[in-house]
A and B are shown apart, each in its own frame.
Chain A
Amino acid sequence: LAKTTQPISMDSYEGQEVNITCSHNNIATNDYITWYQQFPSQGPRFIIQGYKTKVTNEVASLFIPADRKSSTLSLPRVSLSDTAVYYCLLHTGGFKTIFGAGTRLFVKA
């Protein structure tokens, strides 16, 4: 499975937009890009998934350029409760899912 690279940590303030970029230079044709969120002492939670261009749901937006070698998770107007670890993953139609170290987002008041 292709590897992903994302920043170890990020800080932000309440009300700001946060963009977390993930690099996946060796993404395969069949790979989908998926983001999970994990709060302390909880299991991860699916946020959003995309294949190309832009995907938006009630929680976040996912921007994927044409070459698909990177992706950006965008969280609009973050709040303190968005403090969590965010994981960028790649997987095909198979079931094995590889989590990296993730990005620790800390939102300050």
Chain B
Amino acid sequence: NAGVMQNPRHLVRRRGQEARLRCSPMKGHSHVYWYRQLPEEGLKFMVYLQKENIIDESGMPKERFSAEFPKEGPSILRIQQVVRGDSAAYFCASSPPGVLTNNEQFFGPGTRLTVL
């Protein structure tokens, strides 16, 4: 049973370009979360999605950032017109459907975005 997959693992973009980060949740998981982590800091929640729905995007910057989790295919975190401050590790996590008290989230290996 494959874990959470993220690609690419490393992504280099120049300022002003677009970055697309992909996340395939674990089989059977319908909840996806995106986090951002700056060096030497903890993870910052960005967005929580279920299939075709954004449930909570309170941690997502209002501009340039968007996320989707289509009925078919991986979840996509899209960053338009990247700036140097977007350089970070972006982690995706997934959890199974239903309301669970423990809400264990399974994390992917992350995508390290570097903006030149």
Contact = CB atoms under 8 A, between A and B. Distances in A.
Interface stretch (A21-29, A56-64, A75-83, A97-105): A97-105
B105 A96 contact: no
A73 to B, nearest CB: 16
B100 interface: yes
B42 interface: yes
A46 B42 contact: no
A70 interface: no
Given A49-B102, A95-B103, A97-B33, A43 B109 contact: yes
B105 A46 contact: yes
B92 to A, nearest CB: 8
Contact of B102 (A34, A43, A99): A34
B48 A93 contact: no
Interface string A3-47: 000000000000000000000000000001010000001111110
Interface string B83-109: 000000001010100011111111111
A98 B110 CA distance: 17
Contacts of A44: 43, 91, 105, 107
Given A43-B108, A93-B101, A101 B41 contact: yes
B87 to A, nearest CB: 15
20 contacts: A32-B103, A34-B104, A43-B110, A85-B42, A87-B42, A92-B101, A93-B100, A93-B101, A94-B99, A95-B31, A95-B48, A96-B45, A96-B48, A96-B56, A96-B58, A97-B33, A97-B103, A98-B45, A99-B43, A101-B41
Of all A-B residue pairs in the complex, the 6 with the closest CB atoms, nearest first, are A43-B107, A99-B43, A99-B42, A46-B104, A101-B42, A43-B91
Interface of A: 32, 34, 41-46, 49, 85, 87, 91-102
